[in-house]
Amino acid sequence: MSYFRIFLAFLRVSIYVETAYRINFIVQLFQSLLNLGMTLGGLAIIFTYTNLLGGWRPQEVLALVGVYFLVGGIIRLIVQPGMEQLIESVRDGTLDFKLAKPADAQAIVSLQRVEIWEILDIILGLGVLAYALVKLGETIGVLQAAEFVLMLTAGSVIIYSFFLILSTLSFWFVRVENILVIFQSVYEAGRWPVSLYPGWLRYGLTFIIPVAFATTIPVEALTSRLNWQTLAGAIALSIALFIVSRIFWKIGLKRYSGASA
């Protein structure tokens, strides 16, 4: 499919740019490991004092950390860079060049930048997750695995749509450069099970800034905590949000191109 080829083209550019500096790889690896070490260190301290964190076993929280890094890596690899670039190109007018291309504009702006070193976080996340799964071994069945993949996909779609909606705001408000930073700050809360948090915070992390869908809910699928309402809800939300974000994007695009909305 041609969009895949577009993505490959952007990917190739990123690789050429980044591998020009070998030091980049080493620095990124160091930082990813440091980040992981910090998270695991915090976990180690917590679990010296307790066996269960809000009902979660250490291996389950470890799985959460793995997913946190995995999804965080995916977001920073392909979702966030494109959106940041979009906001910038609206501001300096270079969006016009992309709109002139013979492919769907949304696809182009979504795939346009790949921060390839984030792949390290994805690999680390997968590693931690795999280790945790081994420790959890006996309780993971095919159904849980399937639900996990489903929730991961739904979560990714929700996050992507969320980013797109925020970035589309730049068609109306010029000074939204930092709006994506809000996700970075709030995402940190995803390192812990969202069920730990008081109601108002849990609500905020689910429906206002959908961190829960990225981290806790997929892991709940793995640990048999997922009820069918949440499962159905996540799927429904992902579809709805995707459609809404695309409509919003089209409206924003029309406004940008000068046509009446």
Indicate which single residue of 3, 30, 97, 207 sits in contact with other proteins (rule: CB under 8 A): 30
Alpha helix (H) residue ranges in 93-141 = 95-99, 105-111, 119-136
Count Cβ atoms within 10 A of the Cβ of residue 69 and give its class: 0-12 exposed, 13-18 middle, 19 or more buried.
Answer: buried
Instruction: Return the residues of window 68-87 that contact other proteins according to CB under 8 A.
Output: none
H or E stretch at 33: helix 22-49
Count Cβ atoms within 10 A of the Cβ of residue 181 and give its class: 0-12 exposed, 13-18 middle, 19 or more buried.
Answer: exposed
**Shortest Å, Cβ 108 to other proteins:** 27
Count CB-CB contacts under 10 A for residue 216.
27
By CB under 8 A, residue 260 contacts other proteins: no
Instruction: Return the residues of window 197-216 that contact other proteins according to CB under 8 A.
Output: 197-198, 201
By CB under 8 A, residue 59 contacts other proteins: no
Output DSSP code: residue 178. G
Window 160-199: contact mask with other proteins (x via CB under 8 A): ---------------xxxxx-xx-xxx-xx-xx---xxx-
Count CB-CB contacts under 10 A for residue 34.
10
Beta bridge partners of 56: 53
Give the SS3 label for residue 56: strand
Report how many residues bind other proteins under the rule CB under 8 A.
37
**Pick from 165, 127, 150, 154: which is nearest to 244 by CA?**
165
Interatomic CA distance for residues 140 and 223, integer angstroms: 7
Instruction: Give the interface segment with other proteins, choosing from 45-53, 228-236, 237-245, 252-260 (CB under 8 A).
Output: 45-53
Instruction: Give the interface segment with other proteins, choosing from 4-12, 28-36, 67-75, 225-233 (CB under 8 A).
Output: 28-36
By CB under 8 A, residue 41 contacts other proteins: yes
Q: Which is nearer to other proteins, 123 or 186 (CB)?
A: 186
Window 5-24: contact mask with other proteins (x via CB under 8 A): ------------------xx
Binding region for other proteins (CB under 8 A): 23-24, 27, 30-31, 34-35, 37-38, 41-42, 45-46, 48-50, 52-54, 175-179, 181-182, 184-186, 188-189, 191-192, 196-198, 201
